[in-house]
């Protein structure tokens, strides 16, 4: 019996019908372009959220989480609506709502993806619940459909206007590979990402910073892209080239121009990164990662002093490349580092944080791991 199943039994007094897990993610490259029909190259990390579920004969959803001392919340199925306020359980309820489940459920969640670190703990929670429910009710949704249903839960139920990257990689990632995801049609290609055999490590640096802008800033960036798309009468940023953007520069505001420049150049960088990885050219990958950070910092303006500090310190310590990951305004950065330099790089980053008076960063590392699965 797995441990989530034992926890379920302790909480509800009988065994669950199904258990599933889904991982968090880091994104190698391709930031803030999933909602612009771009390409992204994330991979699943080792840390997962686990869930155990049993169906009941009543019309109540009971949810507990190990992180909340297994206190059981009870919500009537008829009360589930995007208008219902709440906390983390909204991600679970959102998926139940999005999948159209009409049966009572008992649920326990064990969230092992570090919270608030920008490693997609919320997508891991959605994907684990969706995977379990899809199987328990034999819904037959394929993985792209499940990803879209999870995104709908987050967009409409939770109210966060996220793109499709986090849910997709949590559901579709494969061990040993980064996932090249075409955000237009959710087709994927596994790109081998084996840093270890090249004497490298991908260091994840959680800045522990969380700036206010997270929600409003994200929606504002998305809106800028939508405005440019409408102004140029194109389908998405995917359909724009730098030459076209430059020739129409006068038709948009300076802010819209730099937002669009990020989107166009970042999509190109993802394709270049795939070529670099296929040649095991990690020096080139490092340069692309650095260019991505500069674009996010200067054009998209979604970085923050703590992320810049982590990136600058990692590069000063010899990293091949470093950049912020995820939505920005806090959360984590990644650094591609020679394995023998990892310890020193951490010390240099810690020193830089201390000098700037920032809260001490946390460090993680992870090989590319498997996406969601039934346990």
Residues forming the active site: 166
**Candidates 141-149, 159-167, 245-253, 310-318 — which segment interacts with ligand GLA by CB under 6 A?**
159-167
Among 24, 94, 163, 368, binds ligand GLA (CB under 6 A): 163
From the centroid of its chain, how far is CA 268? 20
Q: CB nearer to ligand GLA: give 119 or 132.
A: 119
Give the residue carrying structure tokens 């999870």.
150
**Candidates 32-40, 140-148, 189-197, 355-363 — which segment interacts with ligand GLA by CB under 6 A?**
32-40
Confirm or reject binding of residue 327 to ligand GLA (CB under 6 A): yes
Half-sphere exposure of 31 (CA within 13 A, CB side): 31
R_g (Cα) of the chain, nearest Å = 21
Confirm or reject binding of residue 204 to ligand GLA (CB under 6 A): no
CA separation for the pair 198, 200 (Å, rounded): 6
CA separation for the pair 223, 114 (Å, rounded): 29
CA separation for the pair 242, 265 (Å, rounded): 8
**Beta carbon of residue 165, minimum distance to ligand GLA (angstroms, whole number):** 5
Q: Are 25 and 44 in contact (CB under 8 A)?
A: yes
Q: At what angle do helices 89-99 and 121-136 cross, to 10 degrees?
A: 40
Among 162, 181, 313, 336, binds ligand GLA (CB under 6 A): 162
Confirm or reject binding of residue 165 to ligand GLA (CB under 6 A): yes
CA separation for the pair 136, 19 (Å, rounded): 9
Confirm or reject binding of residue 375 to ligand GLA (CB under 6 A): no
Contacts with ligand GLA, 271-310, as mask; x by CB under 6 A: ----------------------------------------
Confirm or reject binding of residue 34 to ligand GLA (CB under 6 A): yes
CA separation for the pair 293, 295 (Å, rounded): 5
Q: CB nearer to ligand GLA: give 28 or 51.
A: 28
Confirm or reject binding of residue 326 to ligand GLA (CB under 6 A): yes
| Size of the residue set binding ligand GLA (CB under 6 A) | 10
Beta bridge pairs of residue 179: 190
Confirm or reject binding of residue 32 to ligand GLA (CB under 6 A): yes
Q: CB nearer to ligand GLA: give 64 or 150.
A: 150
Nearest Cα to Cα of residue 165 among 175, 341, 150: 150
Residues in contact with ligand GLA by CB under 6 A are 31-32, 34-35, 162-163, 165-166, 326-327
């Amino acid at each position: 019996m797995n441990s989530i199943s034992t926890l379920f039994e302790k909480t509800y007094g009988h065994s669950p019908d199904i258990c599933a897990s889904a991982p968090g993610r880091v994104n190698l490259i391709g930031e803030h372009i999933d909602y612009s029909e771009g390409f992204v190259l994330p991979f699943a990390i080792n840390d997962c959220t686990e869930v155990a579920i049993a169906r009941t004969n009543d019309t109540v959803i009971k949810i507990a989480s190990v992180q909340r001392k297994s206190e059981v919340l009870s919500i009537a199925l008829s009360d589930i609506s995007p208008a219902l306020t709440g906390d983390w359980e909204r991600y679970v309820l959102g998926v139940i709502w999005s999948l159209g489940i009409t049966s009572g459920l008992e649920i326990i969640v064990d969230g092992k993806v570090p919270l608030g670190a920008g490693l997609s703990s919320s997508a891991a929670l959605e994907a684990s619940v969706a995977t379990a429910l899809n199987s328990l009710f034999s819904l037959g949704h394929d993985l792209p459909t499940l990803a879209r249903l999870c995104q709908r839960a987050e967009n409409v139920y939770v109210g966060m206007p996220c793109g499709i990257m986090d849910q997709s990689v949590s559901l579709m990632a494969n061990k040993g590979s980064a996932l090249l995801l075409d955000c237009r049609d959710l087709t994927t290609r596994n790109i081998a990402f084996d840093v270890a055999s090249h004497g490298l490590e991908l260091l994840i640096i959680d800045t522990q910073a969380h700036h206010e802008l997270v929600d409003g800033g994200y929606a504002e960036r998305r809106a800028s892209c939508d405005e440019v798309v409408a102004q140029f009468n194109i389908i998405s940023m995917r359909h724009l080239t730098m030459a076209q953007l430059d020739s129409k520069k006068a038709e948009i505001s300076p802010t819209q121009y730099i937002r669009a420049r990020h989107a166009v150049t970042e999509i190109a960088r993802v394709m270049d990164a795939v070529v670099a990885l296929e040649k095991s050219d990690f020096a080139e990958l490092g340069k692309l990662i650095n260019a991505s950070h500069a674009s996010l910092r200067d054009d998209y303006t979604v970085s923050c002093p703590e992320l810049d500090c982590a990136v600058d310190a990692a590069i000063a310590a010899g990293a091949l490349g470093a950049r912020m990951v995820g939505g920005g305004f806090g959360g984590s950065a990644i650094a591609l580092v020679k394995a023998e330099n990892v310890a020193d790089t951490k010390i240099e980053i810690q020193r830089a944080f201390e000098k700037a008076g920032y809260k001490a960063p946390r460090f993680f590392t992870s090989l590319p791991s498997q996406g969601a699965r039934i346990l």
